[in-house]
Amino acid sequence: MYLFVARARGLEAVPKVLLEQCGKLLHVSDMILDPKRPLARADVSKVMDEVRDKGFYLQMPPPPDEDLFLAAGHPDNPRGKPS
């Protein structure tokens, strides 16, 4: 998961309950968001709007790929048995 915040405000607008649920946060990078430069897994305009309006944007990981889960050798399904 990624938590986008404005550099100037930092974590001050992030609800305390969310910070508690996230546990220890690790700074990954600083980036300049630009509507002309898409993000890999989020709509950059939505991220920009939410950071501006709410003070943060939480990007959750994508759901697991069912085909990969069912594949033999997946750590959660080592024998390839249907769930």
Query: Per-residue pLDDT tens for 23-57?
Result: 999 999 999 999 999 999 999 999 999 999 999 99
Distance CA 29, CA 64 (A): 25
Letter for the amino acid at 73? G
pLDDT for 62: 81
Q: Write down the CATH number for the domain with range 2-70.
A: 3.10.510
* Cβ neighbours, 10 Å, residue 39: 15
Helix (H) or strand (E) holding 53: helix 44-54
Q: What is the pLDDT of residue 48?
A: 98
Rg (CA), the chain: 17
Q: Rounded distance, CA 68 to CA 66, Å?
A: 5
> Confidence class of residue 77 from pLDDT cuts 50, 70 and 90?
low
66: pLDDT confidence band, cut at 50, 70 and 90?
low
